[in-house]
């Protein structure tokens, strides 16, 4: 029996679009993108903000329970990586970070078609198959 993988779509936004998305500020391109996302009951989560939330939670609840704490903290404290992750957004569907292939494929295609109009530099699709993804760094 074949395993069923889940998927996630991510976008890389221009700095202007990324700032508007993170601040929920008026920006015409943001409105077009959010209209598309509403069709899928989807939202965006900035990768930098997700990393910062993880670090904050680990520091509050106990770092020993968060195996990626140090790697994540080092990432958000590195200016080059911070700049990269401030422009990267994961698409959540119905509040979930991963979802079925059909939804991911449809979102991927629609976002690609909209990309040049709204300031999306890149659209990527990832699956949950560990063979296709980098594994967490070894704990020090």
Render pLDDT for 5-49 as a digit per residue (tens, 0 to 9): 999 999 999 999 999 999 988 888 888 999 999 999 999 999 999
What global pTM score does this model have?
Answer: 0.90
In this structure, is residue 122 part of a structural domain? yes
Higher pLDDT, 58 or 4: 58
Establish if 139 belongs to a structural domain: no
Structural domain contains residue 17: yes
Would you place residue 133 in the very low, low, confident or very high pLDDT band (cuts 50, 70, 90)? confident
User: Would residue 39 count as lying in a domain?
Assistant: yes
137 lies in a domain? no
Indicate whether 1 pLDDT > 50: no
| Residue tagged 């910062």 (tokens) | 52
Which is more confidently placed, 61 or 138? 61
Instruction: Tell me which residue of 28, 7, 20 sits closest to 107, measured CA to CA.
Output: 7
Strands (E), 2-132: 7-13, 42-46, 88-93, 120-127
Question: Is there a domain that residue 2 lies in?
Answer: no
45, β-bridge pairs: 90
Residues of the domain holding 126: 7-132
Calculate the average pLDDT of the chain. Answer: 92
In-domain check, residue 72: yes
Q: Would residue 138 count as lying in a domain?
A: no
- Distance (Å, whole) CA 70 – CA 106: 35
Sheet containing 88-93: give its strands across. 42-46, 88-93, 7-13, 120-127
Lowest-pLDDT choice from 3-12, 29-38, 77-86, 131-140: 131-140
Neighbouring-strand partners of residue 44: 91
| Count of domains forming the chain | 1
């Amino acid at each position: 029996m074949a395993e069923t993988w889940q998927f996630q779509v991510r976008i890389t936004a221009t700095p202007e679009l990324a700032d508007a998305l993170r601040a929920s500020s008026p920006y015409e391109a943001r409105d077009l993108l959010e209209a598309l996302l509403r069709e899928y009951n989807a939202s965006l989560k900035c990768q930098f903000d997700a990393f910062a939330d993880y670090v904050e939670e680990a520091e509050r609840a106990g770092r020993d329970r968060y195996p990626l704490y140090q790697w994540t903290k080092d990432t958000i404290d590195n200016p080059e990586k911070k700049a990269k992750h401030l422009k990267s957004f994961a698409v959540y569907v119905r509040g979930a970070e991963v979802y079925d292939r059909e939804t991911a494929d449809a979102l991927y295609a629609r976002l690609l078609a909209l990309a040049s109009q709204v300031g999306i530099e890149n659209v990527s699709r990832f699956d949950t198959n560990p063979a296709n993804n980098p594994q967490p760094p070894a704990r020090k």
